[in-house]
Amino acid sequence: MKSASMPWTSRLSHSPCPCRSGKPAYDCCWRGNGRWEKASVGIIDVDKTDFMHDRCYLSPTGNCGTKITREHFISRNILERITTSTLKFENVSHFFGGKSTVEIGIDAFSAKVLCDAHNSALSTLDTEAGLAFSKIEDLFLDIKRIGEAKRVFKTFYLSSGVDIERWMVKVYCGLVAAGKIRGMRGTIVHRDTLPPCLFDSLMGRSMLDSPLGLYVHSFVGQTRRSGGLTFGTIQLTDGSDGVGGLMLSLGVMNLVLVTSLGFGETFSDPNWYRHPTLLFNVRQSGCRVAYLFTY
């Protein structure tokens, strides 16, 4: 889906594409008349094997490899952006046995939850997420330097919202399969509760329908801070102990993946967006910084 027209970006049509593919924009995500579209990685196929590995959480989709691999359910390339050794989680009663605070190393964010075939096939989503978070870091730095700018500058960043949604699904499924998510009373969320629609979305065969899917929270006047990213979970809205999805808090926005149909309401707050396009459009003193998710 092409974005709405943003005429001021037309000057970028012959520059390197804002998605950082290395291609000229006109040969990549530029769609003319100030419109942009970042293509998703599309359907992820694995070689046909007719084998289902009982330890692979994607075994219901078939075509597993024969070996089970140790998978980073929070991608290593992203973990390494926010820490060199350990990562601290606070108020994480859903994670890691119900503890309120934990501090663990990068290698502890892995478990044998995928076969070698599916693990290899999904690596492209980790790559896309790593690029997106790199651009979000640059966005934060650009927003900070607007107030200190000695000259007018304009920057524009572009990512696929579909790929970010699929990467969040991958993280959630991995956490569940590794037994790392629990209800407030300590009840483990089991792998067999993962709905098949999450697998179809992850492999690119379909999109998630509301209320499932990725929501983005940002608003005018939001406090923009650094500090990496923080994971958490959201509770079901029916008052039960169940988990409704996964939240990822960034320095400039919050991403919420709703994974349960039991989350019986969509976000009515106008600052929550499902399938957004332009997430940030900061203008000050002639400078401009924008970030676009396309769908």
Question: Quick one: tokens of 72?
Answer: 């980073």
Full-prediction pTM beyond 0.85?
A: yes
pLDDT, position 225: 52
> β-strands 213-217, 254-258: how paired?
antiparallel
Higher pLDDT, 97 or 49: 49
Each domain of the chain, given as residue ranges in start order, spans 1-37, 53-294
What residue has token string 């993962």?
A: 194
Higher pLDDT, 94 or 161: 161
The DSSP string of 164-188 is: HHHHHHHHHHHHHHTT-BB-TTSPB
pLDDT-based confidence at 137, cuts 50/70/90? confident
pLDDT-based confidence at 180, cuts 50/70/90? confident
pLDDT, position 236: 75
- Looking at every residue in the chain, the average pLDDT score rounds to 84
Region 114-141: mean pLDDT is: 91
Q: What percent of the chain has pLDDT over 70?
A: 84
* pLDDT surpasses 60 at 266: no
